[in-house]
Chain A
Amino acid sequence: MFTKILFATSGSPCCDAAARVAFDLAARYNAKLFVFHVLGTPSRGFSQVVVDLRTGEKVELDGDYILWVKDELKGTYDRQLKSGVDCEIDAAVGVPHREVLRKARQEDVDLIVMGASTTGCESDAQEYERHFAGSTLQRVAKASKAPVLVVNRPVASFWGGFTNIVFGADFSKGSEHAFKFALRTAKELDANLHLFHAIDIGSSHGFISQKELDDRMIEARDRMRRKYLIQTGDFKKVTADIWEGIPYIEIVKYAREKQADLIIMAHHSKDVSDESAVFGHTLEQVLLRATCPVASVNRPDKIQLA
């Protein structure tokens, strides 16, 4: 299932929860773990200067500096490294999302694990920054072939493996890929799979009659059956539910009720209309609020059913 996992980290405490999950997954599923850090962005034209992403300082890059950063990383994850996980630590220079994607491609990983945002979790972060996923995560999640597992809140990182998986369906094309990944994960790990769709009544300004709501419920049930349930075959550990409300709130509530240890969603949620909203609003809010890891799936490449 997971044979190669890339843990992309800023090395700051903001990634500690993600680190816990990454090392735990690698140990549990006997996967090779790549701990990868982009230490700086090239700056000042063709000079050897990079802006260190942790300190914001301009540093003169040389081999010693990279070694020093790798040592720092080893220190940061010292305890986890002693657990015997097959782990490789690497650091690179470049634009963070690009280098993470490059590494994922080079190593052909099955899963990328990341925190949601380093800026947003720092103690001096503005209130609004806490409600947005970071730009690196957004860009990685958009282009990644492998699912991207996001661990934002510390509380999301104390589960063991995956035994209760919630799939947040939005019936889009991206959702199709996400479902395949959810089903495959549930089958291979013998987990319960809970299919869930929330009818969005929160963002509509007009009054919704009960008749209309009932009709939409029926339609959603029908689509749930036709699009997803039909594919589950003889896999019996599947349930399906449709609720109404504000989708991201409902998904988080549902996951809590099902004691979900993994939520899987498509990267492109259906309600993306504003071009500046690179991330689906629903997914973004779910991954910031969820009490378990959230996997974002955007591409079919790495999730074909075995």
Chain B
Amino acid sequence: MPEGKLCNKKPVSTREELDALLGDSNGRQYYAEMENLDVDAEKLWATIQKTMKSRTKTWLEICAHCGLCADSCFLYSVNGRDPKQVPSYKIQSTLGEIVKQKGKVSNEFMRMCMDTAWSKCTCCNRCGSFCPYGIDMGVMFSYLRGLLHSQGFVPWELKIGSGMHRLFRAQMDVTVEEFVDTCEWMVDEALEEWPCLEIPIDKEDADIVYMINAREAKHYPEDIVEAAILFHIAGENWTMPSSGWEMTSLSMFAGDWEACKMQVETVYEAMERLRPKRMVATECGHAYRATVIEGPYWAGRPDGKPPVECIHYVEWVAEALETGKLKIDPAKRIKEPVTVQDSCNYVRNAGLRECTRIIMKHMAEDFREMAPNKEHNYCCGGGGGFNGIGRYRKQRNDALKMKREQILATGAKFVIAPCHNCWDAIRDLEEEYEIGIRWSFLKPLLVKMVEVPEHLLPKE
């Protein structure tokens, strides 16, 4: 059977298609259909010829198979130093082979590639900084994911996630009306405690446009109001767009390049429409990567930059604390040992390693570094889509072991994770291994810890 009803080469384009996928519990039918999905070798080779640029070609060619990347990969370490987990092996035996075979590969081979691309690499890019040639297997795996997606070999949850972006321009089914209503609702709930609090929607020429992860709007709208409270205390002139507020990109995890472009263009359109001085991105790693690092290329922007200057939430907080816009009440500083998870996507990939250290200097009395840390930190164990894919749950749970050991070694029982994916992975880690830790984003802590100017307090 060439194309399945659910598993096929066609991306989701209607609500009915999306609902049919969602109705397929665990993706059982989807994966069964995948076993019979034809590989369109001709199209695959044509795609490679059109999209594989010199960098990837060179990397595949010059890899000396020296194995220096092995120890850089946490999945190699947590899987008993299995040679099949050596990054260079993983990419050469998948992408390398497809290229060698000029796309003439079997269904079974493509399924092996899918399992490798989504359960043996989180695209954390750590190997790239240890390879003597600077070969980045994470970048190549992202590319391989794109090829696999174009042939329909993509994990069930990511076909859904990508479909959500295509239909709703968000990873979850949140419409413009629902989003605006949620913001109004949150302000309404908070007004008694925070008189004059606002979430200004579609305000033009503000200093800051704030953008988020759809999960905040859908399940944890408190997060939006916490951001609003902190902007309010800091006296920022800010806004949120009614559309284009969603920065995340499950389509990036899925390798759905077309959907990546559609999503990020919605975000850039909001920036161009509202003309803010800067964009502040919520506490999410991959959202930052999608919008700020990769996005400009998806959207074909000639300068390789988003339309306005974009900063991550940790940059804004560090700046606000250093300039005194936000002040931590000294009595409320965190007394217990606390550690911070460095998100690969904005620390290793964007160099924001000092921000959280500055923040910790203000917030914590006993900050403990993980080892290794900053740009050398390990992935939380759930990056690149790993967290959400049921098919690879066991592999993901194994992958959490590295972070477990790192956290335990700090002696801290409290972990700050300013990234949705890391936060999720650390939550799952505690559920899975019960090491007695707690975890948090920055915002709920800051709201409780910052000094509030007298005039912002409610009058009795």
Determine if A42 and B387 form an interchain contact, defined as CB atoms under 8 angstroms apart.
Answer: no
Determine if B448 and A62 form an interchain contact, defined as CB atoms under 8 angstroms apart.
Answer: no
> In the complex, A143→B157 CA distance in Å?
34
Q: What chain B residues lie within 8 Å of A98 (beta carbons)?
A: 219-222
Which of A20-28, A43-51, A227-235, A281-289 sits within the interface? A43-51
Within 8 A of B (CB), among A22-76: 42-49, 60, 62-65
Q: What chain B residues lie within 8 Å of A101 (beta carbons)?
A: 189
Q: What chain B residues lie within 8 Å of A65 (beta carbons)?
A: 25
Residue of A whose beta carbon sits closest to that of B423 = A45
Once A94-B219, A98-B221 are accepted as A-B contacts, the answer to whether A45 and B26 lie under 8 Å apart by CB is no
Write the B371-394 contact mask toward A (1 if CB under 8 angstroms, else 0). 000000000001001011110010
Interface centre among A44, A49, A102, A299 (most CB of B within 10 A): A44
> In the complex, A49→B156 CA distance in Å?
13
Determine if B387 and A275 form an interchain contact, defined as CB atoms under 8 angstroms apart.
Answer: no
Q: What chain B residues lie within 8 Å of A89 (beta carbons)?
A: none
Residue of A whose beta carbon sits closest to that of B387 = A45
Determine whether A173 belongs to the interface, using a CB cutoff of 8 Å to chain B: yes
Determine if A64 and B25 form an interchain contact, defined as CB atoms under 8 angstroms apart.
Answer: yes
Q: What chain A residues lie within 8 Å of B421 (beta carbons)?
A: 45
Q: What chain B residues lie within 8 Å of A143 (beta carbons)?
A: 189
> In the complex, A48→B387 CA distance in Å?
11
Residue of A whose beta carbon sits closest to that of B155 = A47
Q: What chain A residues lie within 8 Å of B22 (beta carbons)?
A: 48, 62-63
> In the complex, A42→B219 CA distance in Å?
8
B123 to chain A, nearest CB (A): 15
Determine whether A95 belongs to the interface, using a CB cutoff of 8 Å to chain B: yes
> In the complex, A64→B388 CA distance in Å?
21
Determine if B25 and A60 form an interchain contact, defined as CB atoms under 8 angstroms apart.
Answer: yes
A47 to chain B, nearest CB (A): 4
Q: How many residues of B contact A (CB 8 A)?
A: 32
Determine if A46 and B171 form an interchain contact, defined as CB atoms under 8 angstroms apart.
Answer: yes
> In the complex, A65→B185 CA distance in Å?
29
Within 8 A of A (CB), among B1-57: 22-26
Determine whether B451 belongs to the interface, using a CB cutoff of 8 Å to chain A: no
Q: What chain B residues lie within 8 Å of A225 (beta carbons)?
A: none
Partner of A47, one of B25, B157, B172, B222: B157
Determine whether B285 belongs to the interface, using a CB cutoff of 8 Å to chain A: no
B100 to chain A, nearest CB (A): 34
Please classify the interface of chain B as helix (H, G, I), strand (E, B), loop, or mixed, using the class held by over half of its residues: helix
Determine if B220 and A47 form an interchain contact, defined as CB atoms under 8 angstroms apart.
Answer: no
Determine whether B250 belongs to the interface, using a CB cutoff of 8 Å to chain A: yes
B428 to chain A, nearest CB (A): 7
B191 to chain A, nearest CB (A): 10
Partner of B161, one of A46, A64, A95, A105: A46
Determine if A47 and B23 form an interchain contact, defined as CB atoms under 8 angstroms apart.
Answer: no
> In the complex, A111→B215 CA distance in Å?
29
Determine if B220 and A45 form an interchain contact, defined as CB atoms under 8 angstroms apart.
Answer: no
Determine whether B354 belongs to the interface, using a CB cutoff of 8 Å to chain A: no
Q: What chain B residues lie within 8 Å of A47 (beta carbons)?
A: 157, 387-390
Once A94-B219, A95-B219, A143-B189 are accepted as A-B contacts, the answer to whether A46 and B25 lie under 8 Å apart by CB is no
Determine if A45 and B388 form an interchain contact, defined as CB atoms under 8 angstroms apart.
Answer: yes
Partner of A49, one of B189, B218, B390, B460: B390
Once A45-B382, A95-B220 are accepted as A-B contacts, the answer to whether A60 and B390 lie under 8 Å apart by CB is yes
Determine whether B424 belongs to the interface, using a CB cutoff of 8 Å to chain A: yes
Determine if A275 and B448 form an interchain contact, defined as CB atoms under 8 angstroms apart.
Answer: yes
Partner of A105, one of B157, B185, B460: B185
Q: What chain A residues lie within 8 Å of B390 (beta carbons)?
A: 44, 47-49, 60
> In the complex, A143→B225 CA distance in Å?
13
> In the complex, A291→B439 CA distance in Å?
39
Residue of B whose beta carbon sits closest to that of A298 = B192
Within 8 A of A (CB), among B212-243: 215, 218-222
> In the complex, A98→B161 CA distance in Å?
23
Q: What chain A residues lie within 8 Å of B161 (beta carbons)?
A: 46
Within 8 A of A (CB), among B390-448: 390, 393, 421, 424, 428, 448
Q: A45-B387, A45-B388, A102-B185 known; 12 other A-B pairs, CB under 8 Å? A: A42-B215, A43-B428, A44-B387, A46-B171, A46-B215, A46-B388, A47-B157, A47-B387, A95-B219, A98-B219, A98-B221, A299-B192
Q: Could you name 13 residue pairs across A and B whose Cβ atoms are closer than 8 Å?
A: A44-B393, A44-B424, A45-B382, A45-B388, A46-B157, A46-B250, A46-B388, A47-B387, A47-B389, A48-B157, A62-B22, A62-B24, A143-B189
9 closest A-B pairs by CB = A45-B387, A45-B388, A47-B388, A46-B388, A62-B25, A143-B189, A45-B424, A60-B26, A60-B25
